[in-house]
Structure 1
Amino acid sequence: MSAYAIFIKEKTVDPDELTVYAGKAGASLDGHPARVLAAYGGHVTLEGPDHEGVVIVEFPTLEAAKAWYESPAYREAREYRFRGAQYRAMIVEGL
């Protein structure tokens, strides 16, 4: 069953840290069965507080998504994200 990693950027704190994160996060997907479905495109907030952007990455399974999230390459990348912005992140299984 497909799974989706969803990242919601709520507030940028340090743009320089996010620049480093962007390069490392993209590279961390190499070798993982992932497909980026959305990345900071235009959006309309229908309910709740607005946000700065959303990324949605599709994986074939929940286990594959978790394996990428816990991979050494993404663990290194996400440290820059933690310093660069406030995010909400989750993995959701599809139907």
Structure 2
Amino acid sequence: MPAYGFAHLRSRRDHPDVLAYLERIQATLDPFGGRFVVHGPPTEVVEGTWPGSMVLIEFPGLAAARAWYDSPDYRAILHLRTDHIEGDLLLIEGVGPGYDPAERARTLRAEAERAARPTA
């Protein structure tokens, strides 16, 4: 199942360190099969508000995403971004090609019904 690194970057400052980070990040992703899917603006906000920009990086799986984030090569450049851009990064497991949201709803409904039953 694919996994994603999702970053919500709330503040952004153009700084030479950030440019160096951008120049070096792909080399840290390659050994783990990481690839950019979304990288910053433009965005079209259709509900709510969205301060900042987003980055979405796809990995073959959650283990690869974690290994990339914890890798010495990525750790060596991480501060180049975090020293100058405020934001959050999440590692998220994706869903497979046969994902059915209606099945997910059935599972959640059954769990809620079981939790609501009185215990003896």
User: Does TM, normalized by the shorter one, top 0.5?
Assistant: yes
For the pair shown, the structure with the greater C-alpha radius of gyration is 2
Judge which range, 17-26 or 64-73, deviates more.
Answer: 17-26
Q: Please name the residue that 1:24 is paired with.
A: 24
Quote the offset at 1:47 in angstroms.
2.1
Aligned residues: 94
CA RMSD of aligned residues (A): 1.5
After the TM superposition, which parts of structure 1 deviate over 3 Å for at least 4 consecutive aligned residues? none
Structure 2 runs not aligned, ≥5 long = 96-120
The code of the aligned residue for 2:24 comes to K
The code of the aligned residue for 2:48 comes to E
Please identify which structure carries the higher strand content: 1
Quote the offset at 1:58 in angstroms.
0.7
Structure 1 length as normaliser, TM-score? 0.86
Structure 2 length as normaliser, TM-score? 0.70
User: In structure 2, how many angstroms separate the alpha carbons of the residues matched to 1:9 and 1:24?
Assistant: 18
1:59-70 correspondence to structure 2 within 5 Å = 59-70=59-70
Structure 1 runs not aligned, ≥5 long = none
Q: Please name the residue that 2:109 is paired with.
A: none
Identity of aligned residues (%): 28
